[in-house]
Chain A
Amino acid sequence: MKVRYVLIGILIGMAMINLTGKAWPKDKEVTLLNVSYDPTRELYVDYNKVFTQYWKEKTGETVVINQSHAGSGKQARSVIEGLDADVVTLALAYDIDAIAEKSGLLPIQWQERLPDNSSPYTSIIVFLVRQGNPKNIKDWDDLARSGISVVTPNPKTSGGARWNYLAAWGYALRKWNNDELKAKDFVRAVFKNVPVLDSGARASTTTFVERGIGDVLISWENEAYLAVKDLGPERFEIVVPSVSILAEPPVAVVDRVADQHGTRKLAEEYLNFLYTPQGQEIVAKHYYRPRLKSVAQKYAAQFPPIKLFTVDEVFGGWQKAQKTHFADQGIFDQISPL
């Protein structure tokens, strides 16, 4: 009896939602879907505003840019499985390689199509320490010291963490003249100091900042800046090590999807605009290192010069790095306690 009212209520509710809920407006504007990874959310919110305006002035067309953000690897899998991305802007080339290889939505040589390895902005790996740097952490060696607690996400689940790991490895190779065994011991010592391996970069930042775990957080430079800005300028300091890895987050048009949507021109322009002074300015504001000299000079105070190596130089590209270090039974598994 009373249950009847509940049932009827549910039905009425359903009908109402169907009548009023216009969750998917059928608009006549052009839409573009940018599938990206977690830390670029704020960057692309800003960039999309500027680009929409630029495109309107140039062509008179109104473009609606939709954003999708999640972990880089997960996003790559989604695109492979049919998420209709016109462009992808991910954390590492390996993930876009996977899209090209497994779905054929874009050519294998995608990375040669745009300047600078298809990476319009870069970042480096730095340390975030607590105010006053109480444990006196200056360089990579300090992370392997006993009694230091290091926070980094899990390289197996986080693209950002793979950059962290490779940066430490590259430093060790450089220090011990390419002695792989020494490098392995060094990285093992660093990860022995890790009490919590979060699944993503932002989760690690929260563990370090909000839970008060760890003496140092290994992080992308842009993430470290954002954490300091948003979570407490008086509480943390950024420490730049003597040498670091040049993290190059790549971008690419997903050809087959863009062609199907008839958005290829728009998609290409969307990515090219990232390389213009205007685009580079936005990039720098969000603490990514710009490629353009003129913009880089303007923000020189924000981005101290540092000796950098790339994945290609030290590891022979992402495919190889992934296979050697992060695949099952790879070096990361070997240095893990089990």
Chain B
Amino acid sequence: MSTRTEPAWIRRALIGIALSFLALFILLPLTVVFMNALNKGIAIYLKSLSDPAALAAIRLTLLTALIAVPFNLIFGVAASWAIAKFDFRLKNLLITLIDLPLSVSPVISGLIFVLLFGAQGALGPWLRAHGIKVIFALPAIILTTIFVTFPMVARELIPVMKAFGNEEEEAAMTLGANGFQTFWRVTLPNIKWGLLYGVILCNARAMGEFGAVSVVSGHIRGQTNTLPLHIEILYNEYNFTAAFAAASLLAMLALVTLILKSIIEFKYRAELAAAGKFVIKMENHV
């Protein structure tokens, strides 16, 4: 055990520094949100969340994330497989292009879809003639969300997959597993944390995105307002309690993360205990 950790005083100091930083930059803002949400009592808190406009916003946000995240999940797995497992030319260019949406200002992320689908845009007149509504409706909200959260899963997976190298998969293949089995049985268990973090981050960003969605949403109350947009409206109505109540809902996503992680950790341990010996043998072989 002693070889695997630092002296106690170093440990304590590091924990202390890390926690102080987190307290200053994360815990305090979090406290502000929850204090403001609950400062008029739990009854008002619940009431502000069950307002029809709030419910419509929550529904729209969930729907958006549920469509956007799987798209980026599939892309993330494909991209990281290609990038981490193979060598090819212009790989760095590809990675850079994948990162690009992150650095695009939210205003611009929205604007490009307006330029593409808006009434004055490239495809706008054609869409209009065919009665297809994209901009200021659900399709544009989803597209923008996909754009904004585009690199999340891929970026999480690439370093993890790289860290593992190809040996395990190649061993499985020589043992006669097909590609799909190899991925499912060997790669997936290895990258599970990266995958989970990727999905969680992607989902959190998808649900929390404000700037870009604000440009393409049209702000129609009860129809195209996502939860972040609804929060802004409430705040601008000086309805601070309701605004922070809705914000606290998004903050609680972090709690969902915690629960998901614990469940997976628990299941993983149980499985390890059951099939443990085999896995360890495999690892020793490789």
A102 to B124, CA, bound (A): 15
* Contact A1 B236, CB 8 Å, known A6-B260, A14-B66: no
User: Which B residues from 257 to 278 make CB contacts under 8 A with A?
Assistant: 260, 263-264, 267-268, 271
Give B124's nearest chain A residue, CB to CB: A82
Q: Which residues of the other chain, A, contact B136 by a CB distance below 8 angstroms?
A: 78, 81-84
A192 part of interface (Cβ distance < 8 Å): no
- The answer to whether B271 touches A66 (Cβ under 8 A) is no
B15 part of interface (Cβ distance < 8 Å): no
Q: Which among B70, B121, B236, B264 is the interface contact of A81 at CB below 8 angstroms?
A: B121
- The answer to whether A67 touches B220 (Cβ under 8 A) is yes
- The answer to whether B271 touches A1 (Cβ under 8 A) is yes
Give A33's nearest chain B residue, CB to CB: B220
A313 part of interface (Cβ distance < 8 Å): no
Provide the B56-68 mask, 1 if CB < 8 A to any CB of A, else 0.
1001101100110
**Number of A residues contacting the other chain (C-beta, 8 Å)?**
42
- The answer to whether A3 touches B59 (Cβ under 8 A) is no
A2 to B271, CA, bound (A): 9
- The answer to whether A68 touches B124 (Cβ under 8 A) is no
- The answer to whether B196 touches A6 (Cβ under 8 A) is yes
- The answer to whether A41 touches B233 (Cβ under 8 A) is yes
Provide the B227-246 mask, 1 if CB < 8 A to any CB of A, else 0.
00000010111100000000
- The answer to whether A2 touches B59 (Cβ under 8 A) is no
A142 to B223, CA, bound (A): 46
- The answer to whether B66 touches A69 (Cβ under 8 A) is no
Give B271's nearest chain A residue, CB to CB: A1
Q: Which residues of the other chain, B, contact A200 by a CB distance below 8 angstroms?
A: 236
* Contact A41 B218, CB 8 Å, known A10-B69, A17-B66, A80-B119: no
- The answer to whether A69 touches B124 (Cβ under 8 A) is no
* Contact A21 B63, CB 8 Å, known A3-B192, A14-B70: yes
* Contact A23 B63, CB 8 Å, known A81-B114, A81-B121: yes
Nearest-Cβ distance from residue A49 to partner chain B, whole angstroms: 14
User: Which B residues from 188 to 216 make CB contacts under 8 A with A?
Assistant: 188-189, 192, 195-196, 199, 214-215
Provide the A137-176 mask, 1 if CB < 8 A to any CB of B, else 0.
0000000000000000000000000000000000000000
- The answer to whether A23 touches B218 (Cβ under 8 A) is no
- The answer to whether A67 touches B120 (Cβ under 8 A) is no
Q: Which among A2, A70, A202 is the interface contact of B267 at CB below 8 angstroms?
A: A2
B128 part of interface (Cβ distance < 8 Å): yes
Provide the A58-82 mask, 1 if CB < 8 A to any CB of B, else 0.
0000000011111000110110111
Provide the A250-291 mask, 1 if CB < 8 A to any CB of B, else 0.
000000000000000000000000000000000000000000
A13 part of interface (Cβ distance < 8 Å): yes
The count of A-to-B residue pairs whose CB atoms sit within 8 angstroms is 103
Instruction: Give the interface SS of chain B, mostly helix, strand, loop or mixed.
Output: helix
- The answer to whether B220 touches A70 (Cβ under 8 A) is no
* Contact A81 B124, CB 8 Å, known A66-B222, A202-B236: yes
Nearest-Cβ distance from residue A72 to partner chain B, whole angstroms: 12
* Contact A23 B60, CB 8 Å, known A10-B66, A41-B236: yes
Q: Which residues of the other chain, A, contact B119 by a CB distance below 8 angstroms?
A: 80-82, 103
Provide the B177-194 mask, 1 if CB < 8 A to any CB of A, else 0.
000000000001100100
Q: Which residues of the other chain, B, contact A82 by a CB distance below 8 angstroms?
A: 118-119, 124, 128, 135-136
Among A2, A75, A206, chain B packs the most CB atoms within 10 A around the CB of A2
Nearest-Cβ distance from residue A74 to partner chain B, whole angstroms: 8
A234 part of interface (Cβ distance < 8 Å): no
- The answer to whether A70 touches B121 (Cβ under 8 A) is no
Q: Which residues of the other chain, B, contact A103 by a CB distance below 8 angstroms?
A: 119-120
- The answer to whether A23 touches B59 (Cβ under 8 A) is yes
Q: Which residues of the other chain, B, contact A237 by a CB distance below 8 angstroms?
A: none
Q: Which residues of the other chain, B, contact A1 by a CB distance below 8 angstroms?
A: 188-189, 271
Give A226's nearest chain B residue, CB to CB: B238
Provide the B100-139 mask, 1 if CB < 8 A to any CB of A, else 0.
0000000000000010001111001000100000011000
16 example contacts (A-B, Cβ-Cβ < 8 A) are as follows A2-B264, A3-B188, A3-B192, A6-B196, A17-B62, A17-B66, A23-B59, A24-B223, A66-B220, A66-B221, A68-B220, A68-B221, A69-B219, A70-B214, A81-B121, A83-B135
In the complex, besides A1-B271, A66-B220, A68-B218, 18 extra interface pairs with C-beta distance below 8 angstroms are A1-B188, A2-B268, A2-B271, A3-B196, A6-B260, A6-B264, A10-B69, A10-B73, A17-B62, A23-B63, A41-B233, A68-B219, A69-B233, A78-B218, A81-B114, A81-B120, A82-B119, A227-B238
- The 7 A-B pairs with the shortest beta carbon distances in the complex, nearest first, are A81-B118, A82-B119, A230-B238, A68-B219, A202-B236, A83-B136, A83-B218
